[in-house]
Structure 1
Amino acid sequence: MERADLIVIGSGQGGIPLAADFAQAGRNVVLFERDVLGGSCINYGCTPSKAFLAAAHAAGRARQAENLGIHAQIRVDFPAVMQRVRSIRDSFNQSVRKRLEDAGVKIVFAEASFTGERIVTGGEVTVLAPIIVINTGTSSLIPNIPGLAKTPYLTNRSFFELKQLPPRALVIGGGYIGLELGQGLARLGSQTQIIVRGDRVLDREESEVGETLVKALERDAIEVHFNTKVEQVAYTDGSFTLTLDRQDKLQAEALLVATGRKPNTQTLNASATGVELDERGYIKIDDHFHTTCDGVYAIGDVAGQPAFTHVSWEDYRRLKAILSGEERKRSDRVLGYAVYTEPQVGRVGMSLEQAQQKGINARCVTLQMSQIARAIEWGHDLGFYRMVIDNDTDKILGATLVGYEAAEIVHVFMAIIEAGITWYLLEQSVHIHPTYGEALPSLARLLIDNNTL
Structure 2
Amino acid sequence: MRDLTCKLLVIGAGPGGYVCAIRAGQLGLDTIIVDARPPGGTCLNIGCIPSKALIHAADEFERLTSIAKGSPLGLSLSNPAHDLGKTIDWKDGIVARLNHGVAGLLKKAGVRLVTGHVRFADGKTVDVTSEAGTQRIKAENIVVATGSVPVELPFLPFGGKVISSTEALSLRALPKRLSIVGGGYIGLEIGTAFAKLGAKVTIIEAADRLLPQYPSALSKPVQKRLKDLGVTLHLDARALGMSDDGKALVAQIDGAEQKIASDKVLVTVGRRPVLTGFGLAELGLEIAGPYLKIDDTCRTSMRGVYAIGDITGEPMLAHRAMAQGEMVAELLAGLPRAWDKRCIPAVCFTDPEVVSVGLTEEAARETGIETISGSFPFQASGRALTTEREDGFVQVVARKDTHMVLGVHGVGAGIAELSSEFALAIEMAARLEDIAATIHAHPTRSEAFQEAALGALGHALHL
Gaps of 5+ in 2: none
Change (3 A) 1:208 1:62: farther
How many equivalent pairs are there? 448
Could you give the per-residue CA deviations for residues 44-75 of structure 1, whole angstroms, max 9, x where no partner exists?
A: 11211111111111122334454635555431
Normalising by the residue count of structure 2, what TM-score does the alignment of the two structures yield? 0.90
> Aligned to 2:404, which of 392, 395, 408?
395
> Aligned to 1:328, which of 337, 359, 366?
337
Change (3 A) 1:349 1:72: farther
Residue 31 of structure 1: CA displacement?
2.2
Gaps of 5+ in 1: none
| Amino acid in the other structure paired with 1:244 | A
SS of match in other structure, 2:201? strand
Q: For 1:362-401, what aligned pairs fall within 5 Å after superposition?
A: 362-401=371-410
| Amino acid in the other structure paired with 1:272 | E
SS of match in other structure, 1:411? helix
Could you give the per-residue CA deviations for residues 136-193 of structure 1, whole angstroms, max 9, x where no partner exists?
A: 0011011222x54453422122222211111111111111110000000011111111
Matched, 1:313 2:313: no
Residue 372 of structure 1: CA displacement?
2.3
> Aligned to 1:91, which of 97, 110, 114?
97
Matched, 1:228 2:234: no
Matched, 1:278 2:284: no
SS of match in other structure, 2:94? helix
| Amino acid in the other structure paired with 1:16 | Y
Could you give the per-residue CA deviations for residues 425-450 of structure 1, whole angstroms, max 9, x where no partner exists?
A: 22223333332122222212212328
Distance 2:10 2:383 in 1: 48
Asked if structure 2 preserves the Cα contact closer than 8 Å seen for 1:173 and 1:196, the reply is yes
Asked if structure 2 preserves the Cα contact closer than 8 Å seen for 1:241 and 1:251, the reply is yes
Distance 2:122 2:395 in 1: 51
Q: For 1:185-264, what aligned pairs fall within 5 Å after superposition?
A: 185-234=194-243, 240-245=247-252, 246-264=256-274
| Amino acid in the other structure paired with 2:376 | L
Matched, 1:358 2:367: yes
Could you give the per-residue CA deviations for residues 300-346 of structure 1, whole angstroms, max 9, x where no partner exists?
A: 11111422222221112211222222332223353112111111112
Q: Which deviates more, 70-79 or 191-200? A: 70-79
Distance 2:422 2:25 in 1: 37
Change (3 A) 1:132 1:418: same
Residue 419 of structure 1: CA displacement?
1.4
Distance 2:396 2:229 in 1: 29
Matched, 1:45 2:47: yes
Change (3 A) 1:194 1:72: farther
Matched, 1:36 2:38: yes
Residue 14 of structure 1: CA displacement?
2.0
Asked if structure 2 preserves the Cα contact closer than 8 Å seen for 1:194 and 1:222, the reply is yes
Identity percentage of aligned residues = 28
Could you give the per-residue CA deviations for residues 103-123 of structure 1, whole angstroms, max 9, x where no partner exists?
A: 554433332232223222232
Q: Which residue of 2 aligns with 1:113?
A: 119
Change (3 A) 1:96 1:449: closer
| Amino acid in the other structure paired with 2:443 | P
Matched, 1:178 2:178: no
Q: Which residue of 1 aligns with 2:82?
A: 76
Distance 1:377 1:78 in 2: 30
Q: Which residue of 2 aligns with 1:100?
A: 106
Matched, 1:127 2:129: no
Residue 100 of structure 1: CA displacement?
3.2
Distance 2:144 2:420 in 1: 30
> Aligned to 1:424, which of 413, 430, 433?
433
Q: CA RMSD in A?
A: 2.3
Matched, 1:158 2:158: no
Residue 32 of structure 1: CA displacement?
2.1
Could you give the per-residue CA deviations for residues 182-240 of structure 1, whole angstroms, max 9, x where no partner exists?
A: 0000111111111111111110111111221100111111111111111121486xx74
Distance 1:125 1:235 in 2: 47
